Structure 1
Amino acid sequence: MFSPKFRQNLIAGIVLGTFALIVATPLLRHPHGLLVGPQFDGRNDLTSIFLVFRTWPRQALETHGQLPLWNPFFLSGTPWFGNPQSGMLYPPNWIFFLGGGAWLASWMLIGHLWWGGLGVYFVVRRMDWNWGAGVLGGCAYLAAPFLIAQTGEGHYNQICVAAWIPWAFFVFEGFRKGSRYAVPSLALVMALMFFSGHVQECYYLAFLLTLSVVWAVCIPHEHPTSPGYRKRLLGSWFGAGAITVGLVAVESLPQFLNSKQSVRSEGLSLEQSGTISLGADNFRQLLDPFALGGPENYHGAGQFFWETFFHFGYTILALALLGLVLQRRNPEIWR
């Protein structure tokens, strides 16, 4: 009834889901509890901020009988439509209209880790690596220590946007190969990242993919040289960008207008932003994740363990070093 490829993908999804549940062992023990880290006696961004973010839209409709365009309980009142952290237009968040609140937010975090791992699986498979490599890549991503640290701090929006990054690369592979559905699909994925509530990663990824397109156009020996390839690639990229801008305009324009009324409308200085950035000492975390302390006693650069954590797992580090040593190269992959 089902093709072998479909069965392989289904089994991969089940394996990754099982692994995600292993990662979420504390939540399995208490399914209606909160998934929090050891710092500050469990108080984190999920308990102090994002639970309110997720439950306010339903409360506004049920209690006040109005659309959640303004939140009077956050920062003494703030715009909610056009707030880059509200996640109002992110479809998975609409499930909170059904209820669930606290425990649902924790399971949504795990669900997004699984979704990101599944995306990595499909990226690896699209690059013509075998099933085992895809599953290994997916497991490594969803259990990446950096993402686990973000989960422990309750960075709900950041985990949501990170879950879509592999899917952007998956669609981008089809985009560069000329898939007819790649342009609208890429625009949709980028829009979902934007709506998820942490737009920085969306901008970074758009910049990175743009550099990849420029590289493909400027280095002809690194990609197919069929007539019109570079012209088609550039045209499709501008088309995907235009569609993305059109999709996110409903929220990006209110965000822009609201930002002009903010006390931080001029942004942060380089010195201010540097206070929560990586330092040279953080490279020690590559080999020892707790070289600078843990979440409850961090003493490295920046202010918080999870903001400057620089460890991606020993498996990933070993495979990366092995790849450099072997220098294996797939000619189909030009980035």
Structure 2
Amino acid sequence: MNTARNEWLVTAALLVIAVSFYFAPALFAGKVVWTANTVNWYPWKATATRAEFATPSFTPDFSISYYPRRVVLSEAWRTKTWPLWNPYSFCGAPFLADIQTAVFYPVNWLLVGLEPIRQFPPFLSVHFIIGGLGLFFLLRVLGVAGIPAAGAALAFAFNEYFFKKIGLPTFLATAAWAPWAIACAYRVARAPSAGWVAATALVWGVTFLAGQPQTVIQIAYVTMILLAVDFLTRRFGRSRRAGQDATSDAVDRGITPRGVGALFTAAALTALLVSVQLLPTAELAGRSARASLSYETMLSGSFHPVEWIRIAIPDFLGTPVTKDGWSNLFSRGNDHFLRIAFSAISAGTPVAILALWSLFVPGIRRRVLP
């Protein structure tokens, strides 16, 4: 028990130190997090120099969407009013019903005393740490040894997806909870209990309230695929060992029908927990212009098969920061959405190579996996 606790403490300490070091200018030196170059807009554009125009700029949504939402939410906190309506967007627009405002997300409540622009550095830092700890938890649930799990946690905390989504905080926040959600689902499926059902519902609820429902759907897809693979591989393994080890089922417990039922119970509890956000969001979504988008328009935002290479080499087709991207040569649909980044949870090419190498080296595999 003490060993497990020490592993958690050491991993958490390493994550806090590493993340704090990276975000130190914004956390401790008065800098701000801002992904878009404002000289691309008026009135700043009128007087900007050529050097200012050359400054890297990406994810303008941070400036024109996420920061204004923080201002409205902070104003509601300050005046102790429910943020039901945003009077500054067009002629007014629903605010709480917009799930990306994340009004009910607990992490946002912890930032209530800060100015809107000062809320982003701790918000981002906390989610880098949450993501790293979550992967450590997931790997320990899967039986990976403590030291490799800690190393993987550090790699995951600084993965490519998190960096690309710094300007889209709800994407980052939701993805940070992915390993926690998957790990809890594994625990419930393998060893269901009332406590773990409640914990799973709570984690999935927080994941949804973080503000990016499509990411939650993607996490659910991944979870179902992983559970199905786990079930099939264990069942195949047991059939091969039949008659060789009479105690194998007791030692190597896999997914059970009772566990599947517990997962459905957790899903129902999750829906109940998030209904305060889900119901108004569903009403708003039905009235949104995006509710009637064509298939060709939606397809234009998906990546081309050629871009699979970016899973191994993230910047193979360029990046919006260096302004050398050429992925738009591989168009899909009606080109309504311009794809300038590939959203893969990659820890970088060196880590991917090391991971693949370890899978094919028996000595390393035996030390890492159970």
**Alignment TM class, shorter chain as reference:** 0.7 to 0.9
Letter in 2 for 1:203: I
Task: Give the SS at the match of 1:89.
Answer: coil
Q: TM-score under structure 2 normalisation? A: 0.77
Among candidates 119, 130, 136, match of residue 104 of structure 1: 119
Q: CA deviation at 1:239?
A: 0.7
The answer as to 2:220 corresponding to 1:193 is no
Alignment of 1:1-335 (within 5 A): 3-24=2-23, 26-27=25-26, 30-36=29-35, 41=57, 44-62=60-78, 66-151=81-166, 154-180=167-193, 181-213=195-227, 220-221=235-236, 230-266=256-292, 268-286=293-311, 288-296=313-321, 297=323, 298-301=325-328, 303-308=338-343, 311-326=346-361, 328=365
Deviations 1:15-61 (A, max 9, x none): 11112134335535734422537775477332322122123123135
CA contact (8 A) 2:181 2:204 kept: yes
CA contact (8 A) 2:189 2:256 kept: no
Between the aligned partners of 1:127 and 1:86, the Cα distance in structure 2 is 34
Q: TM-score under structure 1 normalisation? A: 0.84
Between the aligned partners of 2:30 and 2:75, the Cα distance in structure 1 is 23
Aligned residue pairs total 327
CA contact (8 A) 1:57 1:97 kept: no
Q: CA deviation at 1:70?
A: 1.0
**In 2 relative to 1, CA 84–216 (structure 1 residues): closer, same or farther, beyond 3 Å?**
same
Task: Give the SS at the match of 1:265.
Answer: helix
- Larger-gyration structure (1/2): 2
Between the aligned partners of 2:191 and 2:224, the Cα distance in structure 1 is 16
RMSD over aligned Cα atoms = 3.1
Is the deviation greater in 126-135 or in 286-295?
A: 286-295
Between the aligned partners of 2:84 and 2:27, the Cα distance in structure 1 is 35
Q: Percent identity?
A: 22
Q: CA deviation at 1:187?
A: 1.0
Is the deviation greater in 23-32 or in 124-133?
A: 23-32
**In 2 relative to 1, CA 110–242 (structure 1 residues): closer, same or farther, beyond 3 Å?**
same
Deviations 1:156-184 (A, max 9, x none): 00111011011112222321331522211
Letter in 1 for 2:161: F
Between the aligned partners of 1:228 and 1:163, the Cα distance in structure 2 is 26
CA contact (8 A) 2:70 2:116 kept: yes
Q: CA deviation at 1:113?
A: 0.8
